[in-house]
Structure 1
């Protein structure tokens, strides 16, 4: 049995299989998942698990070189925007419209659905290359 890191076997497999520039999506309960893109549904109840909890767990196991969020997050979910800005201060950060964001989800390796019930609590995490410390 694993001692630490992601215990969800589906997420662990996706992260292990990511190559440089591949990306995943972490989404709230309302984000549509395009046909043909795998979905891992973690939602238990409204707000559980939260967007931040899921992002934090995945970011601890994944080398993230770029983060994409919807520009609408800035105004409509400032707490999530503050979290993402500080959590990924070292990564390239990009904003696009929510409609553009939804289009980008079509190229994701997976969409991970959280229980988050706040607007625009969605992000794309692009894999970087980890060369050790």
Structure 2
């Protein structure tokens, strides 16, 4: 039995199989999942698991070279953007684009990770980096 890190089988497997430039989307409970994109649904109840808890767990295991968030996060949920920036620090650049554009990028994702987050616009696209 796995002792630590991400215990969810599908999520651990998706990260282990990732390659350079693969896109991982972590979304709130309302983010639509495009047809044909694998969804790993972690949502249990409202707020569980949270977007931030999920983000921290994924960042512990996935090397990220850049990320994309919704511009609406700053407008509608600025406290969440501040928390996100605290978690990420200066590990990688983050750019903001309109939600509609983020949804288009989500169509190219390796996987969408659905959380139980009920705060609007808590979505991020993580673009996998390479360790060398």
| Fold in common (TM above 0.5) | yes
The 5 Å alignment of 1:59-98 reads: 59-88=59-88, 89-98=90-99
Instruction: Show the counterpart of 1:110.
Output: 111
Q: Distance in 1 between matches of 2:75 and 2:96?
A: 13
1:130 aligns with 2:111: no
Instruction: Show the counterpart of 2:36.
Output: 36
Q: Distance in 2 between matches of 1:20 and 1:31?
A: 24
Q: Distance in 2 between matches of 1:114 and 1:130?
A: 27
- The RMSD of aligned alpha carbons is 0.9
Secondary structure (helix, strand or coil) at the match of 1:62 reads coil
Q: Distance in 2 between matches of 1:25 and 1:57?
A: 13
Structure 2 unmatched runs, 5+: none
TM-score computed with the length of structure 1 as normaliser: 0.95
Q: Which runs of 4+ in 1 moved over 6 A?
A: none
TM-score computed with the length of structure 2 as normaliser: 0.95
Deviation at 1:90, TM superposition (A): 2.1
